[in-house]
Amino acid sequence: MIRVFSTPQSAARALANRLARMLRADPSLVLGLPTGRTPIPLYQHLVELHRGGRADFSRATTFNLDEFIGIDAADPRSYRAFMQRHLFDHINISPRRINFLNGTASDLDRECARYERAIERAGGIDLLILGLGTNGHIGFNEPGRALVAGTHRTRLSAATRRANADLFGHRASRVPAGALSMGMATILHARRIVLLATGAAKAQCVARMVNGMLTPRVPASFLQLHRDVDVWLDRGAASRIEE
C-alpha cells in the first residue's frame, strides 16, 4: 500500500506512532532498522514518544540493515555510532538486544552467517523499516546484474559512496569501498516492511520501484514480491508515481 503524507515530518510521526502501537501490542517486537538521513525524524519522534512514556523498548530486539567494512562500532563514522546518537542512547533498549553487523570482524563471511543465524534465532524480523538509495538500493543491495539472497559483503557504487560522504567529512573518497548488508531474501523474509522515502530526489526511483518491472538494476523493485509492504512517501517522493 502506498501512503502519501504532506511532509517528511508527518510521515515520520505517523510511522513512529505505528511503531509505538506495535510495541504496545507486542513488547518483544523484532525490528529491522535503517540508517541515512530519511529515518532521522522517525528516530526523533520515537525518542519523544519514549520520553512521554508511550514507547517502551525494554523487551524489543533490533537488527540494523548494514555496516561499513573496516569501521569499528566505536568509530563515530560507523552506522552503529549513528544509531547510538540518533536512537539507542535515548531509549530504554537493552544493549544485548541490539544486533549489528561487525565490519571489523576477522572473517567477514562468518560474520554474515552469524547475523543470518541471529535473525533466525530471534524468530525473524517482525517489522523492517527501509530507506531507499537514489540509485534504487535497499540496505546496501546495490544495482547490478544480479542480487545476493543472504547477508553478504558488497562493494559500494560511486553514487552510494557520494551519498554517504556526510559521515566521512564530506569526502566520498574516504567512504569505505565495501560494506556488509542484509541480502534481498533477508529483507523479503521480514513479516512486514515499511519503506520510507522523502524528497523529490527520490521521486524517479520511487516510480521505478512501484511502477517498473522487477529488475536487479532497481533492487527495491523486488519489494513488489512481498505481501505486506507499505511505501510511505511525502509529496516530493510521490510526485512521479503513475496511478
Q: Which chain residues interact with ligand GLP by CB under 6 A?
A: 34-38, 65-66, 131-133, 139-140, 160, 163-164
CB 219 within 8 A of CB 184: yes
Question: Catalytic: 137?
Answer: yes
Rounded Cα distance, 212 and 214, in Å:
7
Q: Which residue is nearest to ligand GLP (CB)?
A: 131
* CA nearest neighbour of 35 among 7, 77, 63, 64: 64
Q: Please indicate whether residue 66 is annotated as part of the active site.
A: yes
Minimal distance in Å, beta carbon 29 to ligand GLP?
20
Cβ proximity to ligand GLP, 121 vs 187, nearer residue: 187
Active site residue 17: no
CA gyration radius, the chain: 17
Min dist CB 201 to ligand GLP, Å, is: 8
Burial class (CB in 10 A: 0-12, 13-18, 19+), 168: middle
* 135 assigned to active site: yes
Q: Which amino acid is at 97?
A: R
- Choose between 38 and 61: whose C-beta lies nearer to ligand GLP: 38
Q: Which of 45, 50, 66, 86 is catalytic?
A: 66
Active site amino acids? 66, 135, 137, 142
